[in-house]
Structure 1
């Protein structure tokens, strides 16, 4: 066995800490960037921030439900309301109505096991905090809880919630109670003929029962959840004047970044302190450079979007054209991953609402005439087509795919229709079917 020395030359690509941080900075929203800048001020003594008097005046309501098309409402004068904890309110009422300690303990146990919609979540892992409550106690507690809150509070599931409302408020409607108790799954699946057959009633009676059940509240205790209005600040603001679109970044409120002049004397000194100051000075320069690079990248991307998606800014999502990250990257001569990071977590405000910037990028579907159409436009067509269908004989996904192919010239599979329908939260054809009374 021979021992020897060998010299080998290799070329490796290493990501420096600065490069990694620059990539991370690119993905920040303007609000996140502000928080990051303030963190850097605490870590780097050379960084001195100068506050701007101007604060962001462009705000949009951020509703709890997810909506792909946003809203044009701009509540600049809205004030968030902080409400008292609803559970605490229920417990206060319990102390007033039931002075005995055992009943108060039982109600306290139940109230703190309610979910955000007022449903009672009990299982074998639920802690009783050392209190022994059997099923009879729980049932008694639920009845007492009904007197404190709306009918349906304390229900274990949707069926019990609806039954409680019928029993307390409509005790004479026994058919509705029977339908909910025994055939709630058939209602969900809209199997009207099967319901009529099993209950031996006419289709007209089925419709009347269904209409009545729809008047009940499936979440009568939604006040338990936090529905307070939340806000977002857009990162890019697009405005129109004389049919000309302009934009600006909504970052004017960010604090100005300056160097603390008290440390400038240490930059050229030759001691241990100067090494530390020089390192922090490089970090300070890197921060300024990265923020400017982020800003320029976003500006380049939005310039392309205004040009490529001009019809969208005029007419909305129905005019959105197919556009990929790579196509924009090629125009601005950057890598696709850079465009992807720069458009992440960004909100763009347009004359008709605020949206996630990534919604302006959409892949394409081929048409029979050799052109292409965006996925977003196809979804809008799908939504419109289903809205106009015969509700007694709704179209299947296969029928819709055939319609798009023959009438619109858009080649699309049944599976893709199903995927788009689910993304739009549109139920399947048998769940869209309404009761037809002859």
Structure 2
């Protein structure tokens, strides 16, 4: 191999390594909890070099706010950040009006104790023991636990509540979807997100370097700072595009707040549209939520139901309807899989095969029509007013 060819191979490998390193850094940034990401932005923007690059006479960096975005109205307020490190923005509008004394108690309790006994929880420890350790009345401990439980966001379509503290998942509510003259707009709770992405004049960077405005140590740090800004831009842009696409696809649900209006939408299909790796979407939406125009908090993952999840939800609702109608004696015969197939087509326009109905039903552990009929018969026989009771 010639020396020239060898240099070309090494250059190509160097570019590939640099590209891989860039992807790894982006993946790491995408995985940062929301509060840590906001702190990173604040650290970068408080840097004297960043502020110098923002000066009007230099003007290398400026903000570009995306369309249909703004700062959200203060209906979602975080607890004191010192008390809730790496936790979520919580909906406290109604809570603050009635329980200001409890908020004050939590602040007085301090970071360590609040995190240890109420956010993380100590396995096997009773409320009475927690009250003793924290020096609080048992009644107050129960109220704080109720407060924490209240803001546990569900991530499944069934919206079932998990009360197991060790498996509890917390979400950062990053934006509010608000109605504005028939449009849906994005209201960010973070001023850093609402400012938009950084516009960087790279041509001007090289010119400014040559003029000698920057000291040598500053000039060396410029490229590193701009690389950080590129990564921050990538996360901001990804989050914005995800929410904007969700508004387009799930607009019916976002207007109505009715989970029946959710449409099938996968992270993979969105990644193809955005031309990014699916893992990037997964990291971007992990443990993040939005507030709908009706004031409901919904995890972003909930807005990505698969076709199968939608089908299962329809089937579950239909069987629940069947049970109620049997008990009310408005029908006397349970739905067969074929009858369920016809009803789903008529009610929801869902074209599902009988075999798929059966498969989803079994997956939901819903008995066959014959078994359900027998269960309903036993249920009706046990009802008060039945002869022999």
TM-score between both structures, scaled by the size of structure 2:
0.50
Q: Which residue in 2 is equivalent to 1:3?
A: none
Report the CA distance shift for 1:359/1:117 in structure 2 as closer, same or farther (over 3 A).
same
Partner SS state of residue 418, structure 1: coil
CA contact (8 A) 2:289 2:299 kept: yes
Q: In 2, Cα distance between the equivalents of 1:354 and 1:75?
A: 14
Deviations 1:385-423 (A, max 9, x none): 55666399xxxxx9786763453354332332239xxxx
CA contact (8 A) 2:178 2:184 kept: yes
Q: Which residue in 2 is equivalent to 1:322?
A: 264
Q: How does 1:86-105 map to 2 (within 5 A)?
A: none
CA contact (8 A) 1:58 1:233 kept: no
Q: How does 1:165-204 map to 2 (within 5 A)?
A: none
Q: In 1, Cα distance between the equivalents of 2:327 and 2:31?
A: 46
* Structure with the largest fraction of helix: 2
Match for residue 59 of structure 1 among 53, 76, 83 = 76
CA contact (8 A) 2:30 2:283 kept: yes
Partner SS state of residue 147, structure 2: coil
Q: How does 1:116-265 map to 2 (within 5 A)?
A: 116-117=126-127, 223=142, 226-228=145-147, 234-253=173-192
CA contact (8 A) 1:238 1:348 kept: yes
CA contact (8 A) 1:343 1:358 kept: yes
Unaligned segments of structure 2, at least 5 residues:
1-5, 55-70, 80-89, 107-121, 131-136, 152-170, 199-208, 346-351, 367-374
Kindly name which structure, 1 or 2, has the bigger radius of gyration based on alpha carbons: 1
| CA apart distance, 1:330 | 2.3
| CA apart distance, 1:45 | 7.3
Match for residue 234 of structure 2 among 293, 304, 307 = 293
1:341 is the counterpart of 2:341 = no
Deviations 1:88-126 (A, max 9, x none): xxxxxxxxxxxxxxxxxxxxxxxx998335599xxxxxx
Q: In 2, Cα distance between the equivalents of 1:405 and 1:328?
A: 29
Deviations 1:28-84 (A, max 9, x none): 454331133356689x7745699xxx897241799xxxxxxxx99843844651587
| CA apart distance, 1:357 | 1.0
Match for residue 390 of structure 1 among 327, 343, 348 = 327
1:357 is the counterpart of 2:323 = no
Deviations 1:333-367 (A, max 9, x none): 333222222222322121121211111101114xx
CA contact (8 A) 1:322 1:375 kept: no
| CA apart distance, 1:287 | 1.9
Report the CA distance shift for 1:399/1:28 in structure 2 as closer, same or farther (over 3 A).
farther
Unaligned segments of structure 1, at least 5 residues:
1-6, 63-70, 86-111, 121-147, 151-220, 258-266, 366-371, 393-397, 420-428
Report the CA distance shift for 1:249/1:28 in structure 2 as closer, same or farther (over 3 A).
farther
Q: In 2, Cα distance between the equivalents of 1:400 and 1:324?
A: 30
Report the CA distance shift for 1:55/1:16 in structure 2 as closer, same or farther (over 3 A).
same
Greater length-normalized contact order (CA 8 Å, ≥ 6 residues apart): 1
1:332 is the counterpart of 2:274 = yes
CA contact (8 A) 1:237 1:248 kept: yes
Partner SS state of residue 186, structure 2: strand
* RMSD over equivalenced CA pairs, Å: 5.3
CA contact (8 A) 1:238 1:246 kept: yes
CA contact (8 A) 1:323 1:363 kept: yes
